[in-house]
Structure 1
Amino acid sequence: MVRGRLLPVLLTAAGLFGSAGLFADGSTVGAVVMLLAFVAFAAVNSPLVFPPSLGAEEARRRSAADGRPVVYWRPGCGYCRRLRFRLGRDARRAHWVDIWRDPAAAAAVRAVADGNETVPTVVLPDGRAQVNPDPEWVRERL
Structure 2
Amino acid sequence: MTTSYLTEPTILSACNDDISSINTRALEMMPGKDIVYLAVDILSKEDSDDRTITNRYLTEYINSLDPPGLPPFKLMLKVGCPVMLLRNIAPKDGLFNGTRLMDVLCATQLIEAMILTGEKARNLVFIPRIYLSPISGE
Same fold (TM over 0.5): no
**TM-score (norm: length of structure 2):** 0.26
Greater relative contact order (Cα < 8 A, sep 6+) = 1
Structure in which a larger fraction of residues adopt strand: 2
Structure whose CA Rg is larger? 1
Q: TM-score, normalised by structure 1?
A: 0.26
